[in-house]
Amino acid sequence: MNEAIRYDVVVVGAGPAGLAASLAAANRGAKVALIDEGQVPGGQIWRAHRGRPSSGAISRVRALSEAGVNLWSGCTVFDAPGSGTLGVAREGQGFALTYSRLVLACGAREVFLPFLGWRTPGVVGVGGLQALVKGGLSVENKTVIVCGSGPLLVAVASYLRRAGASVPMLVECVPAANLRSLAIPLLTRPTLLRQAMSLRWSLRGVRIALGAQVLGVEGSQEGKSLRWSDARGREFQTHFDWLACGFGLVPNLELASLLGCEMSGQAVGVDESLETSVRGVFAAGELLGIGGVECALIEGEIAGASAAGDSGPATQLLSRRKRARAWAESLGSAYAWRPSYLSPPSDEETLCVCEGVRLGAVRTCLGFREARVCHRLGMGPCQGKTCGPAATRLFGWEAEPPKAPIRPVQVGSWLGVLDPGSAPDRNEP
């Protein structure tokens, strides 16, 4: 009979932070497992293209295999049932992985906010549309409007153009003055400046409206269109096949929260070695605050090395980390969300898609608890991952601590965690 599988270091999340952490730990002699719910490693920025790993991930995945890291792809961590144990689900089955040290690199997800017509077919998240195209959806010759706020809009608009879409408009709600505040920090970072200029060049011919407001989506027999107003308050209506909306990202804090890690604002609190308030549990990347790929790679290396008992990189990489975080903070404040960016949604708009809860039903609630108990807000399969951040932004409600399972799983998966005999062969992750 198999026993629960044990590793020196388990890393959750195979994005840039998790890949860097696994390699750093394995290179220091630790027996490492890297778990990700995706079938191909790479996380968000290095998401596989039609099942093939992206160029950013390929060399790192090869290095992981040479370093002897066990890659558990298609495996979802849904529970932390005891000290040093994770509950993992794969294809309807569950098993336990045990660790001496844990690195959390669970990344971030998009925020979706309700607005007039946001449930119209063809209205999607900006990262969601990018993921669909990487998964095989064709946008060739389709008209895509990108709207909302955040640096992801520009990156995805550029990607969609390369994928053959026609992107006539980018409706950015952040005013020009906010973006000008980025000029000085950019001038001190030549690589970023070059990247920004090349992104801008890739969008030549695209009309970029700054300081705009998203008013809503209208659908008729003639097609779908976005209503928006420019910085001077003039209203426009622009036709689209796909509307890619971005309203920022939130870190996936559920597992850290379940483990009892203390939070620092909207991020996991860590010390300089990136250890959390729970001994032996480290965190890296977007969990420490939305910071992008540079922060993720540096912090992954620090967290992985620290988890393997080497505090060297925490000191050696400290100034690079501070610099990368300073840039992330500049971006964060330039793109900070303001309610005025979006026309206020009516009571008729759906807030919780899983349970069909309308905004009007919960608007007068005192918080998540009342909205959940009385109206089933956040009680569906996504467990409030979509409507939760939206309700926080709309009503200022404080997020509730998550409960296991943090991902929807079958009962059999849960039972499997309790039964060590169900562990898969340790040689076949």
Ligand X SMILES: Cc1cc2nc3c(=O)[nH]c(=O)nc-3n(C[C@H](O)[C@H](O)[C@H](O)COP(=O)(O)OP(=O)(O)OC[C@H]3O[C@@H](n4cnc5c(N)ncnc54)[C@H](O)[C@@H]3O)c2cc1C
Among 143, 149, 178, 252, binds ligand X (CB under 6 A): 252
CA-closest candidate to residue 167, choices 217, 241, 249, 229: 241
Q: List, as one string, the DSSP characters of 255-315.
A: HHHHTTPPEETTEE---TT-B-SSTTEEE-GGGGSS-HHHHHHHHHHHHHHHHTT--HHHH
**Distance between CA atoms of 242 and 105, rounded to whole angstroms?**
31
Structure tokens at 137: 């959806």
Burial classification of residue 309, based on how many CB atoms lie within 10 Å of its CB (0-12 exposed, 13-18 middle, 19 or more buried):
middle
150 binds ligand X (CB under 6 A): no
CB of 137 to ligand X, least distance (A): 15
250 binds ligand X (CB under 6 A): no
Among 44, 276, 386, 422, binds ligand X (CB under 6 A): 44
413 binds ligand X (CB under 6 A): no
107 binds ligand X (CB under 6 A): yes
216 binds ligand X (CB under 6 A): no
Instruction: Give whichever of 267 and 354 is closer to ligand X, judged by the CB atom.
Output: 267
**Distance between CA atoms of 188 and 162, rounded to whole angstroms?**
29
294 binds ligand X (CB under 6 A): no
Of residues 388-407, which lie at the interface with ligand X (CB under 6 A)?
407
Number of residues near ligand X (by CB under 6 A): 35
Residues 6 or more apart from 94 whose CB is under 8 A from it? Answer: 78, 87, 88, 409, 412, 413, 414, 415, 416, 417, 422
147 binds ligand X (CB under 6 A): no
Count the neighbouring beta carbons within 10 Å of the beta carbon of residue 95: 23
CB of 286 to ligand X, least distance (A): 4
5 binds ligand X (CB under 6 A): no
CB of 332 to ligand X, least distance (A): 13
96 binds ligand X (CB under 6 A): no
Q: Which residue has the tokens 């467990």?
A: 383
CB of 239 to ligand X, least distance (A): 25
Among 10, 23, 45, 226, binds ligand X (CB under 6 A): 45
Segment interacting with ligand X, rule: CB under 6 A, options 15-23, 214-222, 342-350, 366-374: 15-23
Structure tokens at 194: 């070059």
114 binds ligand X (CB under 6 A): no
Instruction: Give whichever of 16 and 429 is closer to ligand X, judged by the CB atom.
Output: 16
The H or E element spanning position 203 is: none
CB of 74 to ligand X, least distance (A): 9
In the complex, the residues that contact ligand X under the rule CB under 6 A are 12-18, 35-38, 43-45, 76-77, 105-110, 127, 130, 152, 155, 249, 252, 255, 285-286, 292-293, 296, 407
